[in-house]
């Protein structure tokens, strides 16, 4: 993990000319731009068209797609890219976050406040469900980066204090805190929440992860598909899940 190179990428992006819609090309947000410069400082490799799709980074070694969310947008290009290249999907997770509020009219920025939450790897699970058909492909790697960042929001929400439903302005990385690679099915064990019992029901997974609703069911389906867990019966009306033992090689 090259934190110095990451710091250099931050400086490159922050000091770059800003467009009306954001930083870099196509109104690119700062986290995306920093990761692109970190992973490939040579801009010749950026935004390369291959067949009918654009790759964030394309080199002889393969394709890198940086996705901050909305993995469903990858479903069209993934089979095309994987046919000819190894593909790495990079997903940033806010590790430690400081929140700042921006008054759109005056431009005044509030003092930053540290969020009590710490980003966890399992947050990627609902997104992975959107590309579940490709997770078993040998040419696909998922690379999670844990980033400390400052999140700026406009004071334009619908509540009295204008914070509820407020628009996100941008997220500015300040430090690379860690990384995680998912290259084979057994790697997906890293996505299990800490403190989760070996046998559990979905409510217990929800409590350990904070996921609920569709996100919860999507997360469990991914872990089942990657054989990290298995259904082993029922507890009342709830399915019982058990962590699968790692294979011995």
pLDDT at 183 over 70: yes
Parallel, antiparallel, or unpaired: how do β-strands 87-102 and 140-154 relate? parallel
pLDDT at 79 over 60: yes
- State if pTM tops 0.85: yes
CATH of span 188-249: 1.10.10.10
Helix/strand/coil (H, E, C) string of 3-27? HHHHHHHHHHHHCCCEECCEECHHH
Residues 177-191 have a mean pLDDT of: 96
Q: Are 194 and 231 in contact (CB under 8 A)?
A: no
Residues whose CB is less than 8 angstroms from the CB of residue 193 and which lie 6 or more positions away in sequence, other chains included: 120, 122, 205, 208, 209
Q: What is the pLDDT of residues 9-24, one digit of tens each?
A: 999 998 877 554 443 3
Predicted local confidence at residue 46, as pLDDT:
95
Radius of gyration of the chain (CA): 20
DSSP 43: G
Predicted local confidence at residue 146, as pLDDT:
97
Q: What is the pLDDT of residues 89-136, one digit of tens each?
A: 999 999 999 999 998 878 888 899 999 999 999 999 999 999 999 999
Domain boundaries, the chain: 3-183, 188-249
């Amino acid at each position: 993990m090259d934190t110095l190179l990451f710091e250099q990428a931050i400086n490159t992006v922050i000091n770059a000319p800003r467009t009306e819609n954001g930083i870099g090309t196509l109104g690119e947000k700062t986290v995306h731009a920093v990761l692109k410069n970190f992973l490939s400082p040579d801009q010749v490799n950026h935004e390369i068209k291959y067949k009918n799709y654009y790759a964030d980074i394309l080199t002889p070694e393969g394709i890198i797609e940086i996705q901050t969310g909305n993995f469903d947008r990858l479903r069209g290009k993934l089979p095309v890219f994987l046919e000819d290249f190894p593909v790495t999907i990079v997903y940033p997770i806010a590790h430690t976050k400081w929140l700042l509020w921006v008054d759109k009219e005056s431009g005044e920025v509030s003092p930053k406040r540290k969020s009590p939450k710490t980003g966890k790897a399992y947050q990627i699970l609902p997104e992975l469900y959107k590309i579940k058909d490709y997770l078993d492909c040998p040419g696909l790697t998922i690379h999670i980066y844990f980033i400390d960042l400052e999140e700026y929001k406009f004071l334009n929400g619908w509540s009295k204090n204008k914070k509820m439903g407020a628009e996100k302005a941008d997220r500015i990385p300040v430090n690379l805190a860690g990384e995680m690679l998912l290259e084979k099915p057994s790697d997906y064990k890293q996505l299990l929440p800490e403190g989760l019992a070996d046998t559990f029901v979905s409510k217990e997974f929800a409590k350990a992860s904070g996921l609920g609703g569709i996100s919860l069911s999507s997360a469990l389906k991914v872990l089942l598909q990657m054989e990290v867990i298995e259904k082993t019966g029922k507890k009342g009306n709830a399915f019982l899940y058990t962590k699968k033992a790692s294979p011995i090689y």
